[in-house]
Chain A
């Protein structure tokens, strides 16, 4: 009996140790080779800022200045409420003290400078696909913005999700660390659209359904989902009859510019903020996103199936 208890305790310790080891941060220790000698291109950084929709969560809610990145936007989810933090270049309250490596670790690995995990409400599962050069340009652009003081409120997340260390296990499942892979069979335009949509644009974070522990169900890529913030749905944007089959590439590009659907209904909900960002992109990038969406496999709506 005593031996069994000892064995169980030992197994428990091993499991806990393994769990601790598996849940640790997976940091980049040094800048990747692509970063060497890179001259930041601030205009491209600005493009990445709008492609990435940074202001949607990091500009103060209801502020007209989308470049004052004080944070404070609440994102309600089944796991709790997440609040976008200050990412202005303020040295204490924002990310002004960050090195390039700190920034890459946040965007590619979802790890903070002090080594703790970020919640995936910060969509690093998409940002991990971004090119190092684009990320360094984005950081250079962020560095040009005004530092603003102020710390956003804490996330309101209950047990067990308030134990950040546990996110390390989640990341083992859903953060593969793979860069964007261009499809050699697709056109340059479609690949550009795929990069913008899958990487910075993080379209899949809302338009793809999630499983019970919040991982994306990639078999239903962009086929729509229940609204993660509770009410209504996020539509299917594959070229299926239940999705965008009736939309031309021009219709999609125009919607991303103006917010108007082909019926001249206006896009709302969180897509409203997305349009504010995509409206700032060069026309050829909106066209590329449209070409990519029309190139996707047509899938029926995923949100009925995904409803609990």
Chain B
């Protein structure tokens, strides 16, 4: 029993350190994957907003939580040396104006935290939350991202 637990523990620690190592090794790949997850989460709410999918309060709230998760600490995925490579679309402005970038990220964190605290009970409420969230995406992508394709 103890042996099994130890093995499980070691396995967990190994996999954790593996995850951590890959994040440290490649912040560009990590932040891109996180943004993809944000996109997929927004997609759930977007489909509801467009009427392609029935409104579901629990799914909408879960989507907000997933996005909030990505927002927390997102700015730490832009260390010196990750300015280029890996087809990054990060704009040089991130490193020229880190304070501004952090403020934009905080807006996203706050909007999602508010949506988690006050879950949308109706499609209209969700649309309003999605609109606010979309504004934070846009506000950051306007200055801190460069579309390459």
Contacts and interface: CB of A to CB of B under 8 A. Distances in A.
A254 B131 CA distance: 12
Contacts of A267: 138, 141
Contacts, number: 61
Contacts of A263: 39, 43
A235 interface: yes
Interface string B86-124: 000001000000000000000000000000000000000
Contact of B42 (A231, A254, A260, A268): A260
A233 interface: yes
Secondary structure at chain A's binding surface: helix, strand, loop or mixed?
mixed
B129 to A, nearest CB: 12
Given A232-B147, A258-B134, A266-B137, A273 B142 contact: yes
A252 to B, nearest CB: 12
A270 B42 CA distance: 21
Contacts of B135: 259
Interface in A233-288: 233, 235, 250, 254, 258-260, 263-270, 272-273, 275-276
A196 B140 CA distance: 27
A266 B147 contact: no
A258 B50 CA distance: 11
B27 interface: no
Contact of B146 (A231, A235, A250, A275): A231
Contacts of A268: 137-138, 140-142, 145, 147
- The SS class assigned to the B binding surface is helix
Given A258-B46, A259-B137, A269-B141, A232 B146 contact: yes
B39 A265 contact: yes
Contacts of B39: 263-266
Contacts of A260: 42, 46, 134, 137
A259 B42 contact: no
Given A275-B138, A276-B138, A269 B145 contact: yes
Nearest to B141: A268
Which of the listed residues B40, B139, B141 has the most CB atoms from chain A within 10 Å of its own CB? B141
Given A232-B148, A233-B147, A266 B141 contact: yes
B141 A258 contact: no
Nearest to B140: A268
Contact of A269 (B49, B50, B131, B146): B146
B126 interface: no
A269 B91 CA distance: 10
A294 B42 CA distance: 25
Given A266-B141, A272-B139, 20 more contacts: A233-B148, A235-B147, A250-B50, A254-B50, A258-B46, A258-B130, A259-B135, A260-B46, A260-B134, A260-B137, A263-B39, A266-B39, A266-B42, A266-B137, A268-B137, A268-B142, A269-B142, A269-B147, A272-B142, A273-B142
